[in-house]
Structure 1
Amino acid sequence: MWYFARELCVNATKNRKLLGLWNRPAAFMSTLLINQPQYTWLKELGLREENEGVYNGSWGGQGEVITTYCPANNEPIARVRQASVADYEETVKKAREAWKVWADIPAPKRGEIVRQIGDALREKIQVLGNLVSLEMGKILVEGVGEVQEYVDICDYAVGLSRMIGGPILPSERPGHALIEQWNPVGLVGIITAFNFPVAVYGWNNAIAMIAGNVCLWKGAPTTSLISVAVTKIIAKVLEDNKLPGAICSLTCGGADIGTAMAKDERVNLLSFTGSTQVGKQVALMVQERFGRSLLELGGNNAIIAFEDADLSLVVPSALFAAVGTAGQRCTTARRLVMDRPGNYVEPTIVTGLAHDASIAHTETFAPILYVFKFKTEEEVFAWNNEVKQGLSSSIFTKDLGRIFRWLGPKGSDCGIVNVNIPTSGAEIGGAFGGEKHTGGGRESGSDAWKQYMRRSTCTINYSKDLPLAQGIKFQ
């Protein structure tokens, strides 16, 4: 069922409009899965037959009612009423009001709220993982793992809430202090894709919150129930702590809501995860207003197996990286480059192409792997870098010199550079993101928190004199 489900997702789930155009018999549409006995667990997440898709401290929505479907069999799960433009406007206003409360709370106290969100997710991890599998289509273990990733980033953010800050710098002027101060940007808009409907929001939400920001989320229309369920969990934590619910707002919707977020000067940072094509449009709209964007776009990732590679590592790594999540990860391996012939992950292999074939330079977002043979290290490093995207890459070798050349300035030009592991499966502790047409944004760990904050260089004169920098004197 997994492969069938994901084949449907390749062609249709990325664009719910296609699903909406299919003609379904009336009998097929008559029973929503949420009303069937085997799916009563959906109600444990607070879901109903028809769900409101707007949250800003209270639930509502005046937009179009859509039905979400299981991509494995096209059966309807439940309905969601999306946001109208008026709903969006009201939600932005409430979110900005909520920021006035949230920004005054000390960062470690904000971290405590995020810790509680992580605990609440832990309590629902299995049932929420079930929903990810049902509505998005990935296998159950990946659905549960995705919720676990949100839990992990909450744990990470709790510690980070006591560590964020800038240095005190030496001043060349006597009686002066030079400080780097970090403050929240304000309202962070988060637009997430269908393939990771929980984890990508979690990366952004947990770090943005401890940084002192409020969040406005627009998930993919195809996974609207997941967006509603996750927001209900967060809303309960905020309510229990007597905090404004609009700290974590939700506006389910389509391109109209996404466009409004991109063009809205009140959205201080827009984090967008999706295709390179749409990401370019988002970047232009945000840049037109001199706004800030964090882009996580496509990848065309290569695994390189040298002659000394451990095949017991290469084979399972290539298999997982190529067909995990049906090839619908941005870190999915699209290219396997080897110094000798061999088909390790048949039947998803394509051979006989030139390394620079246009199809091999296109992100297919499907479990298709192109296999090439190389002659020299210099040649294969160049092949890795010749595609427009620069997200993830990996080599398999035991040669230490080659490893450090791969990691160095003439090696991989990707944001994720691996050795003897797949291109997929990044840990939350490192910054996640890539270069070139991948967008350049960084989420999750390391110093990615800086993208959710604004930096000020502050000079304090605590003397009675007024010396100028660079020894300048006006007399």
Structure 2
Amino acid sequence: MAFQGAAPGFTNHNATRWRIPFPIARALALHCVASMLLQLVYPLARALLGRRTRTFCASRHSAAMSTLLIQQPGYAWLRELGLREDNLGVFNGTWAGRGEIVTSYCPSNNEPIARVKQASLEDYEETVQKAKEAWKIWADIPAPKRGEIVRQIGDALRKKLKVLGNLVSLEMGKISIEGVGEVQEYIDICDYAVGLSRMFGGPMLPSERSGHALIEQWNPLGLVGIITAFNFPVAVYGWNNALALVCGNCCLWKGAPTTPLTSVAVTQIIAKVLEDNKLPGAICSLTCAGADVGAAMSKDERLDLLSFTGSTNVGNQVAVDIQKRFGRKLLELGGNNAIIVFDDADLNMVVPSVLFAAVGTAGQRCTTTRRLLLHESVHDEVVTRLTKAYKQIRVGDPLESNTLYGPLHTKQSVDMYLAAVGQAKQQGGNVVCGGKVINRPGNYVEPTIVTGLAHNAAIVHTETFAPILYVLKFKSEEEAFAWNNEVKQGLSSSIFTKDVGRMFRWMGPKGSDCGIVNVNIPTSGAEIGGAFGGEKHTGGGRESGSDAWKHYMRRSTCTINYSKELPLAQGIKFE
């Protein structure tokens, strides 16, 4: 097999959430699919496009004495982002940190990159107080002028696009084009939010009473907490941050504990924009921290909205904590996404699409395709072609331009991958491709295809954040639609067909129950213009485009009497 130490590899992009569905930018998705198509058509060309992910984990100060990558000449570019050997992980107008020191590790070789001093609960308390004070200034700034600040943030990110994208690749593990694409997505949502700053608001409604007007007024919430995951350490924060800012809110960000350098670098870029405009830095605050601060955020009534991106299990506890205080929440949780391939599908589109969605980012997107439902008439052909494509995947360093597939994020992820493969075998699955750890430094595993499982097998209904694809065989449209909907999550879904009627049935009330419903494209690759999110155990939240901005504001119905009369309800009159 081609999955040995020096063998070539594959990885992919998306926003998904973080968002791809993150989704990454549409252009990046098109680039990936086009490249894979070329590789299928021309076997002598480069192996199918995908994405690679580096894993990096945080550890205790016991690893602090190791030689750091940032000290090596080849990684001097990290200093362009203001990073040093030791970094402070709290920002509320000034940089601080009184908590644990963690070391960021590169997942492709498990070497330490740099260290970050996290927030203590005391740091968190101080940061919340400063952010609430900063809101008093920020909320008074007209929305279009807030949009101008967001425009400047987008421009500042553009200037650091390449180097910040490389940091994402180094710390999270994505290939460089994907890391750059993720930063570009933050830039794109800034551009989107700038326009939105002159457009959002409510209507004036007709009143049934003469001389009266009804106005729907939208106002900022106040302080928005944002907790993001490792797989999209820039884009998902950007989706929330840009919209929250133009809506008049301050932001308090807790990034993933395993990607603190990215959180620090992004915040430094934003802080400079705020400073240049003589605005309080606490408008965009940061607390690099662990579960203690995350739990505090979910229970803190001073956070007017908490946007949480992460696992369904943790999201469930977050939801309970927020509900106990009757708070607002925006949850972007897991996805057990399916592609359904009918007998009339164009298989030349199917194979690269499945490969792109199942193996990209080493299967660590929330929109990753985990289930492939094949009509019985095309099952064997698709499995054969897909297996051949998998064996062309190249493995390598995410920062090298020819790398297309990389490692899982942590060693623990490798253990979960192996456990899932073992369970699939025990439950009747046949591993036709992959299933093993790749013999090389880092957290690399083989992209895996499993056939022969029942549609309701326990492992099929379990989201494993790894490149494992479960292939199922169906007989009818009704059966396929039912299987798509029978899992607990409801994030992304897709069918491949030429039947126009089937397309509309799929999008209709008896079709897919997911938040993202695609036709003839993969489950990943969402665009910022559409609302991103899912149903059921995915959390029900919506981020990015469409009317997602409404999550970040409160609505009031205002009645104005401009007449000289006072008509009362039910025609009551006081003499």
Q: TM-score range by the shorter chain?
A: over 0.9
Tell me the CA shift for residue 187 of structure 1.
0.2
State how 1:120-159 maps to structure 2 within 5 Å.
120-159=156-195
Secondary structure of residue in 2 paired with 1:360: coil
Q: Contact 2:54–2:106 at 8 Å: present in 1 too?
A: no
Q: Give the partner amino acid of 1:336.
A: L
TM-superposed deviation, 1:5: 11
Q: Aligned equivalents of 1:255 and 1:41: distance in 2?
A: 31
Aligned to 1:222, the other structure's residue is in SS state coil
Aligned residues: 466
Residue 287 (1) aligns with residue 345 (2): no
Contact 2:346 2:497 in 1 (8 A): yes
1:269 aligned partner, one-letter code: L
Greater relative contact order, per chain length (Cα 8 Å cut-off, separation 6+): 2
**CA distance in structure 2 between the partners assigned to 1:416 and 1:131 by the alignment:** 30
User: Distance between the aligned counterparts of 2:477 and 2:263, measured in 1?
Assistant: 45
1:252-289 Cα distance to aligned partner (Å, 9 max, x none):
00001101111110000000000000000000011111
Q: Does 1:357 align with 2:457?
A: yes
Counting helix residues as a fraction of each chain, which structure ranks higher? 1
1:39 maps to 75
TM-superposed CA distance for 1:3, in Å, is 6.1
Paired with 1:70 and 1:338, the residues of 2 have a C-alpha distance of: 37
Q: Does 1:436 align with 2:536?
A: yes
Q: CA deviation at 1:10?
A: 9.7
Normalization by structure 1: what TM-score?
A: 0.95
Pairwise CA distance, 1:40: 0.4
State the match for 1:246 in structure 2: 282
Aligned partners of 1:5 and 1:71 also within 8 Å = no
Q: 1:377, 1:154 → 2: CA distance?
A: 41
Q: CA separation of 1:324/1:241 partners in 2, compared to 1, >3 Å: closer, same or farther? A: same
TM-fit CA distance, 1:466: 1.1
Q: What aligned pairs does 1:290-439 form with structure 2 within 5 A after superposition?
A: 290-339=326-375, 340-342=378-380, 343=383, 344-346=385-387, 347=433, 348-439=448-539
Contact 1:5–1:73 at 8 Å: present in 2 too? no
> Where in structure 2 are the equivalents of 1:18-29 lying within 5 Å?
none
In structure 2, the partner of 1:447 is: 547
CA contact (8 A) 2:516 2:533 kept: yes
CA contact (8 A) 1:117 1:154 kept: yes
Offset, 1:30: 2.8
Aligned residue number for residue 21 of structure 2: none
Cα distance in structure 2, aligned partners of 1:444 and 1:474: 51
Deviation at 1:472, TM superposition (A): 4.7
1:167 aligned partner, one-letter code: P
Among residues 216, 233, 249, which one is paired with 2:269 in the alignment?
233
2:198 to 158, 162, 172: 162
Which amino acid is 2:338 matched to? A
What is the percent sequence identity of the aligned residues?
79
Equivalent of residue 67 in structure 1, options 103, 110, 118: 103
Question: Aligned with 1:278: secondary structure?
Answer: helix
3-state secondary structure, aligned to 1:182: strand
Hey, what's the Cα distance between the residues in 1 that align with 2:9 and 2:299?
38
3-state SS in 2 of match to 1:221: coil
String of CA shifts for 1:117-170, please: whole Å, max 9, x gaps: 000001101000000000001111111110010000000000000001001000
Q: For 1:10 and 1:278, locate their aligned partners in 2 and report how far apart those are by CA, in whole Å.
A: 23
1:422–1:474 CA distance, 2 compared to 1 (3 A): farther
Pair 463,264 (structure 1): closer, same or farther in 2 beyond 3 Å: same
The question of whether the paired residues in 2 share the 8 Å contact of 1:56 and 1:95 is answered with: yes
Contact 1:10 1:365 in 2 (8 A): no
CA deviation string 1:143-200 (max 9, x = no partner): 1110010000000000000001001000001111100000010000000000000000
How many angstroms apart in 1 are the aligned matches of 2:569 and 2:361? 57
> Which residue number corresponds to residue 394 of structure 2?
none
Deviation at 1:311, TM superposition (A): 1.2
Specify the code of the residue in structure 2 equivalent to 1:388: K
Residue pair 2:54, 2:171 contacting (<8 A) in 1 also? no
Q: In the alignment, is the contact (CA less than 8 A) between 1:132 and 1:143 conserved in 2?
A: yes
Whether contact under 8 Å (1:56, 1:246) holds in the other structure is yes
Please report how far the alpha carbon of residue 469 of structure 1 lies from its aligned counterpart in structure 2 after TM superposition: 3.9
CA contact 1:10–1:366 (8 Å) conserved in 2 = no
Secondary structure in 1 aligned to 2:224? Answer: strand
Following the alignment from structure 1 to structure 2, what is the Cα–Cα distance between the partners of residues 442 and 12?
A: 27
Q: Which runs of 5 or more structure 2 residues have no equivalent in the other structure? A: 1-5, 13-51, 388-432, 434-447
2: CA distance, partners of 1:163 / 1:102: 19
Q: Deviations over 1:195-238 (max 9, x none)?
A: 00000000000000000000000001110000000000000000
Matched residues in 2 for 1:202 and 1:3: separation? 29
CA separation of 1:388/1:174 partners in 2, compared to 1, >3 Å: closer, same or farther? same
State whether structure 2 residue 89 is matched by structure 1 residue 53: yes
2:128 & 2:336 partners in 1: Cα distance? 36
Distance 2:352 2:292 in 1: 42
CA separation of 1:163 and 1:151: change in aligned 2, threshold 3 A:
same
The aligned amino acid for 1:255 is: A
1:457 — aligned with what?
Answer: 557
- SS of alignment partner, residue 237 of structure 2: helix
Q: Check the 8 A contact 2:98/2:117 in 1, yes or no.
A: yes
Alpha-carbon spacing, 1:202–1:10, altered in 2? closer, same or farther (3 Å) = closer
Measured after TM superposition, the shift of residue 341 of structure 1 is: 1.9
Partner of 2:34: none
**Secondary structure of 1:458's partner?**
strand
- Aligned equivalents of 2:242 and 2:81: distance in 1? 20
